[in-house]
Amino acid sequence: MDATTKKTPLYDTHAKLGAKMVDFAGYMMPVWYPTGIVKEHLAVRNSVGIFDLTHMGEFFIKGERAFDFVQHITCNDVRKIGNGGVQYTLFPTPEGGVVDDLLVYQINPEYYMMVVNASNIDKDWAWVNKHNDFGVELINSSDRYSLIAVQGPRCEEVLAAAGFEDVAYDHPFTFRRLKRGGKRVYLCVTGYTGERGFEIIIQNAGAQPLWDDLMAAGAEMGLTPVGLGARDTLRLEAGMCLYGHELDDTTSVMEANLNWTVGWDKDFLGKDVLVRHKAHGTDRLLFGLVVEKKLGSPRPGARVFAEGTDVGVVTSGSYSPSLDKNIAFCYLRPAICEAGRELAVEVRKKQVPATAVKPPFVRHRLFEHKY
């Protein structure tokens, strides 16, 4: 850990729980607890888990032209959501790459929040400032806010027991602003697991009491602390992109199969390239692979082959606790992207059989209420 590595307000809590801590994007974060990645993962799928995601960045955008600014700098159309709505979107570049993927929260058309990847906070901050031709006020609150996520089919029970009101009425991709212990809270019905879940953004001073309240309230439901290791296996099963793997400065939104995030009826930075990609197609598309458990897991950089020809490369790969198989995201030639197609992939320098699948690998269950 170097001197600039940051600790979240929950650092001591993780240490007490016996977490293995790693430096992730400049923050000391729990990668797993003594429970282990597989059990943490399955707790989220079958019951409920709690995550410290304080490393994520929070920007605020204020001003008369905040709506115009958000419309200009992101590819999704913020007109699709209203006040209290959340939208998955990206910062495309005019060269056809992606600066980051993020969530946009509309407080009102003159006031937005953005939650960005920890590893990209500095780059994103420079990007939004560079493209602020709208006279909006930009505020980087990343160091002032903590983020605690509660994910899994029993999430509403935990929040209700911890004193959050009316959570049974909350809808995926919405948020509410409220106060808890005098601290500003954004209660967001969002996540990165494919399960029902909440992400609670709270001023740093409120993080420890909130964690403690949730842990006490969730004891009965088996609320399990979950580290970044299982966060990654959960998002991979759910077929969600991770910046630095599926997305980077050279991947286009269309290649990443994120055409559903493109607002074709508006203008935005980097639209021209995406229009061309839509009209003429791309040389590669994001797709999935499944490999039998005993053959081992494909890892990033592994080549993919169809009848002996190199047709692509793995971007993320892991053992999937839900499927008890190995799964991987890969960029493939578009002609190869056909579910069920038999391919081969490198695993530890040998080629092993793999089956092409269209992600997600595990069905999303955001709308299956249990509460």
Partner 1 sequence: MATFWFQKTHEYIAEIDGDYRVGISEFAAQELGDITFIELPEVGAAIAQGESFGTVESVKAVSDVYAPVDLEVTAVNEELADEPEKVNADPQGDGWFIKVKLSNPSQLGALMSKADYDAMNKEAG
- Residues at the contact surface with partner 1, assessed by CB under 8 A: 20, 31-32, 36-39, 229, 232-233, 293-294, 296-297, 299, 318-319, 321, 348
CB closer to partner 1, 49 vs 263: 49
CB closer to partner 1, 75 vs 352: 352
CB closer to partner 1, 130 vs 294: 294
Q: How far is the CB of 32 from partner 1 (least distance, A)?
A: 5
Please give the structure tokens belonging to residue 127.
């990007």
CB closer to partner 1, 43 vs 136: 43
Mind giving me the DSSP string for 257-276?
Answer: T-GGG--TTS--TTHHHHHH
Cα 338 → chain centroid: 26
Q: How far is the CB of 311 from partner 1 (least distance, A)?
A: 23
The enclosing H or E element of 123 equals helix 121-130
Mind giving me the DSSP string for 240-260?
Answer: ---BTTTBSTT--TTTTT-GG
Q: How far is the CB of 315 from partner 1 (least distance, A)?
A: 16
Q: How far is the CB of 40 from partner 1 (least distance, A)?
A: 9
CB closer to partner 1, 158 vs 352: 352
Q: What angle do CA 262, 135, 58 make, to 5 degrees?
A: 60
Q: How far is the CB of 215 from partner 1 (least distance, A)?
A: 22
CA–CA dist 113, 103 (Å, integer): 8
CB closer to partner 1, 119 vs 251: 119
| Contact status, residue 317 vs residue 297, Cβ threshold 8 Å | yes
| Contact status, residue 19 vs residue 33, Cβ threshold 8 Å | yes
Q: How far is the CB of 274 from partner 1 (least distance, A)?
A: 34
Instruction: Give me the phi and psi of 155, to 5 degrees please.
Output: -60, -40
Please give the structure tokens belonging to residue 49.
């888990």
Q: End-to-end distance of the chain based on CA atoms, in angstroms?
A: 42
